[in-house]
Structure 1
Amino acid sequence: MPGLIERYEQVKETKEPLDWAELVTLDLSLFDQPGGKADLVKQLEHAVHHVGFFYVKNFNISQNEIDEQFALGREFYALPLEEKLKFHSAEDLARGEYNGYRPAGHRILGNGIKDNVQVYNIPKFDGHHERAHPAVLQEHIKEIEAFQRKCHDEVIVKLLTLFAILLELPDEDYFVRQHQYNVQGEDHLRYMHYAARSAEENKQVGELYSPGHTDLGSVTLLFRQPVAALQILNSEGQWKWVRALDGTITINTCDALTALTGGYIKSSIHRVHAPPKDQAGIDRLGVLYFARPNNHVVLDPVFEDSPVLKKLGYTSNAFTELGQHLTTQQWVKVRQSQQQRKLPGYEVDKDGKYTRTQKDLEILPGLSAKIYN
């Protein structure tokens, strides 16, 4: 019988006049209604091609189920560090394996300031990722699995269906077949904790918790939490804050989906900024779900099956231009290995611009990661 945990209460939203991004909200209750998919695709087209961020609402996951995941994240991060470290493996990180615990301070941001983020990743329950979890999570592992499966079935599957319709692929399940929950893959649920930093420390790293980047999978689900920090880079080159809207999940599209569509679906560029003044002393807890293609899927553009991609010329990607035909498993391994390297700090100039050497950023020969400033 799972132990009872105290209900999670979110903090109040900021009252600071931030420059908020204007994002479309998809109502997933339309998905099974006559003409609903077509209406959703019309709303989605600009969001995925130009922005890479949008919201969804009415997604059949209750607020109680979401609050339980936040409560489990809170309970995990309340454990003593020595207990959490039992679920950390530096060797796994070096190999590109990113499940379990990563402590804060794993990386130096710049000027001697280490990162302030702790991560706990729980892989999907596909039969290929058996691993131990701390008791507070193991006691609720069935609820965690149920939550993951709802993320997949109620949100991911519907979005992948809409993407297939948008690209006029042969059938609606084209992408769904490449993202099956019970087939081996690297999808995972994440509890993510950013510790509040002093104003002086924030200044030394350009007011950032994490510099601008893209995610490596297909779709990321960010469940509502009101400590303002997430920013996106819009098509005009401006950083805009992302508001936490009641009753929504914030969605961003990612690198693997960009590869499969030859760049048509945008991999969103985003960063984590230090929170505004009225939230500056508050730790930030996030619950996220990362969906990726199944491990065997080759990340070549699907233009031969998409009249839209073929007509518009989206026929290659960063991998195929190098003569590479990477599977998802290969891509995840090389990208996560690059992300998790133990490296010296970024160079951070007086304007908060981050730079690294090309060697530090190299993922594959001829392919390097980018830092977006």
Structure 2
Amino acid sequence: MAPIAIERYDHVPVTKADLDWAELITLDLGLYDQPGGKEQLVKQLDHAVQHVGFFYVKNFNISQDEVDFQFALGREFYALPLEEKLKYHNANDLVKGEYNGYRPAGYRVLGNGIRDNVQVYNIPKFDGFHERQQPPVLRDHIAEIEAFSRKCHEEVIVKLLRLFAILLELPDEDQLVRDHQYDVKGEDHLRYMHYAARDPEENKKVGDLYSPGHTDLGTVTLLFRQPVAALQILNSEGQWKWVRPQDGTITINTCDALTALTGGLVKSSVHRVHAPPQDQAHVDRLGLLYFARPNNHVVLDPIANSPLLQRLGRTQNAFTELGQHLTTEEWVKVRQTQQQRRTREADISKEGKYTYRPKDLEILPGLQAVVYN
């Protein structure tokens, strides 16, 4: 059979709403191989990760056509009938903290009787340890998906890991790269994410949020330019700011595993997904993301041979303070188990504040997930 033909993906127009946009730094990866370029990028990175944990990158050697082809594959997958998509859903996997394949919308009740409006399809990295059946529309294009996944790693993640190594004054700038090898077992994945538009009444009942404030659990997350405004970040002044969709960029946020490895020096960025502004409120939002994590065997203790962390006394983290020395695999499983647990709905106030039972937020004894209101 001939592969399923994929039509071009057309992005919706950006919002004309006057939003309170975040001021974020853009790292030009075109400087990376220039004399003194890495040092220049490290200076910018240092400021970004200690303040908001969010920044843009540009000139990352992945063409807009390659990005748009992935958006088109996500569109085709979500256009499938629900019963077809459900063939790639396994509720038992979610209970065990395995989060590959499909998760339907409405899996959880957010609060006030309103279910979540998010569908997720995760494609694990192609490390040989995550063989999975894929729907024909994706299976036909699996070579392009693998090439894109590997490019995310080689062109963006590896470069950022070297910059972080320089920032931490590590003796070898490839130290973090070795802990994040693509072909070594790990829980990195590419994600197509679909948020269905909701009516204003429903949005109001959940504080106008698609997803309340949270951090991601890995090293860094890559979010490809998304013209439907919805992502908001919590800045160092405690204000929620909108993230502007900038042409030719990827939005990067730093995550919990990197916070653990740096003893809290690198901030795990707090973000949420708000209902879009009025001129986009009726539009379904399709996201394309890549989640990078340390390899499964890596122990998430603060990096002991970083002169910077030693000088700053950053030799403990939230895990080691509990006497825990978690591997990435252990951390991913316990955190995803907590995230995907079918909890009781939150108590959502008129101001949009989410309150859960402590038991629903427990990751490990003594360690609670935080919902940022």
The alpha carbon displacement at 1:313 in A equals 1.4
2:162 corresponds in structure 1 to 161
Distance (whole Å) between structure 1 residues aligned to residue 232 and residue 130 of structure 2: 32
1:362 corresponds in structure 2 to 362
1:31-88 Cα deviation digits (max 9, x unpaired): 0111100010011101011110000000000000000000000000000000000000
Gaps of 5+ in 2: none
1:250 corresponds in structure 2 to 251
The alpha carbon displacement at 1:4 in A equals 1.8
2:74 is equivalent to residue 73 of structure 1 = yes
1:329 corresponds in structure 2 to 329
Alignment of 1:175-190 (within 5 A): 175-190=176-191
1:345 corresponds in structure 2 to 345
2:107 corresponds in structure 1 to 106
Distance (whole Å) between structure 1 residues aligned to residue 146 and residue 361 of structure 2: 35
The alpha carbon displacement at 1:283 in A equals 0.3
Distance (whole Å) between structure 2 residues aligned to residue 173 and residue 49 of structure 1: 22
1:284 corresponds in structure 2 to 285
Distance (whole Å) between structure 2 residues aligned to residue 23 and residue 238 of structure 1: 14
The alpha carbon displacement at 1:343 in A equals 1.1
Distance (whole Å) between structure 2 residues aligned to residue 82 and residue 325 of structure 1: 42
2:212 corresponds in structure 1 to 211
| Structure 2 letter corresponding to 1:267 | S
| Structure 2 letter corresponding to 1:207 | D
Alignment of 1:252-271 (within 5 A): 252-271=253-272
The alpha carbon displacement at 1:2 in A equals 3.4
2:29 corresponds in structure 1 to 28
2:198 corresponds in structure 1 to 197
1:3 corresponds in structure 2 to 4
Distance (whole Å) between structure 1 residues aligned to residue 276 and residue 32 of structure 2: 35
2:273 corresponds in structure 1 to 272
Matched residue SS, 1:232: strand
Matched residue SS, 2:133: coil
The alpha carbon displacement at 1:191 in A equals 0.1
Distance (whole Å) between structure 1 residues aligned to residue 33 and residue 5 of structure 2: 36
Distance (whole Å) between structure 1 residues aligned to residue 108 and residue 317 of structure 2: 30
Normalising by structure 1, report the TM-score.
0.99
Distance (whole Å) between structure 1 residues aligned to residue 369 and residue 140 of structure 2: 39
The alpha carbon displacement at 1:3 in A equals 2.8
Alignment of 1:306-325 (within 5 A): 306-325=306-325
Normalising by structure 2, report the TM-score.
0.99
Distance (whole Å) between structure 1 residues aligned to residue 4 and residue 359 of structure 2: 48
Matched residue SS, 1:309: helix
1:260-302 Cα deviation digits (max 9, x unpaired): 0000011000000000000000000000000000000000001
The alpha carbon displacement at 1:184 in A equals 0.1
* % identity of equivalent residues: 78
Distance (whole Å) between structure 2 residues aligned to residue 21 and residue 225 of structure 1: 15
1:147 corresponds in structure 2 to 148
Matched residue SS, 1:175: helix
1:215-272 Cα deviation digits (max 9, x unpaired): 0000000000100000000000000000010000000000000000000011000000
1:123-158 Cα deviation digits (max 9, x unpaired): 000000001000000000000000000000000000
2:98 corresponds in structure 1 to 97
| Structure 1 letter corresponding to 2:331 | W
| Structure 2 letter corresponding to 1:282 | V
| Structure 2 letter corresponding to 1:330 | E
1:153-205 Cα deviation digits (max 9, x unpaired): 00000000000000101111011000000000000000000000000000000
Matched residue SS, 1:159: helix
1:38 corresponds in structure 2 to 39
2:227 is equivalent to residue 223 of structure 1 = no
Gaps of 5+ in 1: none
Matched residue SS, 1:305: coil
Alignment of 1:298-309 (within 5 A): 298-302=299-303, 304-309=304-309
| Structure 1 letter corresponding to 2:260 | A
| Structure 2 letter corresponding to 1:362 | E
Distance (whole Å) between structure 2 residues aligned to residue 369 and residue 214 of structure 1: 9
Distance (whole Å) between structure 2 residues aligned to residue 39 and residue 68 of structure 1: 33
1:174 corresponds in structure 2 to 175
The alpha carbon displacement at 1:13 in A equals 0.3
Distance (whole Å) between structure 1 residues aligned to residue 350 and residue 73 of structure 2: 39
Distance (whole Å) between structure 2 residues aligned to residue 177 and residue 73 of structure 1: 31
